[in-house]
Structure 1
Amino acid sequence: MDLIGHRVKLSPLDNSDRELFIQISMCPKMMTHVYEPCTYEEAIAAFEVKAQLWDSNGTGWLSFGISDLASTKKLGNIGLKIVDHEAKVAEVGFMIKLDAQGKGFAAEALKLVRDFALTELGLNKLVATCSVSNVGSFKVLEKLGFVREACLKKNTLIKGQLVDDYIYHLCKSTL
């Protein structure tokens, strides 16, 4: 199942996304606001987990590779993971390669996933966690209607430092 927007195409994560996924996961600059950069082996293992077939009743990620419709170049990945099946709540996350950031690709990809999750999957709420210093990501979330719910102090360990994270949510009823 592909999700197609005006400028991006989201396709289930597959081997064509592997190289970029590994590069992003190992890149210190990309991981500055996320977690420690992965080793090559950790990046491969993470890709294998994210590329598994999705079970809507399971605990895994529904992951998509993001491609530029015009050039067909790979831009990154985005996905969702149902964290509460009873309440119909899912976490969302996205990573866009450095040279594609700031061009609206993440916002369009998130809009596609948001709309799919709330309409096709019938979810009630989406949540996201974002480092307080990751301005680009939290601006994308806010642009798409996500509301900052909390700031978790010293929540994530990155490069030996505990950093603060924002928690965002978007409820179906508020759209």
Structure 2
Amino acid sequence: MQLADERIELVPFKDSDFEFFQKIITCPQMMEHVYDPLTYDEAKSSFEGRLPPWKFESDNWRSFIITEIINGDKLGYISLRIVNHEAKIAEVGFMIKASAQGKGLGSKALKLMKQYAFDTLMLNKLVAFCSVHNVGSYSLLEKEDFSRESCLKQNTLMNNQYRDDYAYSLCNPAL
């Protein structure tokens, strides 16, 4: 399976990606609108649950490193997990490192993930959730045709404060 365009490719997680993943998921600035930064042990456990092999029947995340083709730089990661196997619905999530944000790379990665979800996995629907304060994430979702379905009040607890999230969805246009 090749998930790539002219600029980036999505490569399934491998053991050597842990350091990159850990830098993102334990960084307070990167995690500001997501959830409390993980400890090293929590990051290790989360990472190990994302390593291949993955099956459609799995409940864990299928994660890919977003890699720039020209120089091999790791730009972030994007993940998908089936949340309703019967209805073929999956949640998608992404993290783009700060130096790669605002360059259209997240959009490219989300386009590739949509293609994988709808054309390869034959999913019916993708859903995504993000903080109402995470302008970058919800702008990206809206750019990629996700529809804002609701505002989930006090949906996430971060730093001992409840935060509101937006819920987004995108149905498979071929179904």
| Structures share fold, TM-score greater than 0.5 | yes
Q: Counterpart of 2:44 in 1: which secondary structure?
A: helix
Per the alignment, residue 73 of structure 2 pairs with 73
Partner residue of 2:90? 90
User: Residue in 1 aligned with 2:3?
Assistant: 3
Q: How does 1:149-168 map to 2 (within 5 A)?
A: 149-168=149-168
User: Quick one: distance in 1 between partners of 2:20 and 2:127?
Assistant: 25
Matches within 5 A, 1:36-75: 36-75=36-75
The structure richer in helix per residue is: 1
| 1:127 alignment counterpart | 127
Aligned counterpart, 1:173? 173
Q: Encode CA deviations 1:92-143: one digit per residue, 9 max, x unaligned.
A: 0001111111111111001000011111111010000010000001111011
Match of 2:106 in 1: 106
Report sequence identity in percent: 53
Equivalent residue, structure 2, for 1:34: 34
Q: 1:23 offset after TM fit, Å?
A: 0.3
Change over 3 Å in CA distance of 1:150–1:121 after alignment to 2: same
Compute the displacement of 1:44 (Å).
1.0
Distance 1:174 1:133, change over 3 A: farther
Identify unmatched segments of 5+ residues in structure 1. Answer: none
Q: Secondary structure at the match of 2:56?
A: coil
Deviation of 1:45 (Å)? 1.0
CA distance in 1, matches of 2:92, 2:49: 16
TM-score (norm. length: structure 2):
0.96
Which residue in the other structure is 1:141 paired with?
141
Give every structure 1 segment of 4 or more consecutive aligned residues whose post-TM-superposition deviation is greater than 2 Å: none
Q: What SS does the aligned partner of 1:9 have?
A: strand
TM-score by length of structure 1 reads 0.96
Distance 1:93 1:51 in 2: 16
Code of the residue aligned with 2:120 in structure 1: it is E
Which SS does the other structure have where 2:122 is aligned? coil
Partners of 1:129 and 1:34 lie apart in 2 by 9
Code of the residue aligned with 1:20 in structure 2: it is: F
**Would you say how many aligned residue pairs link Structure 1 and Structure 2?**
175
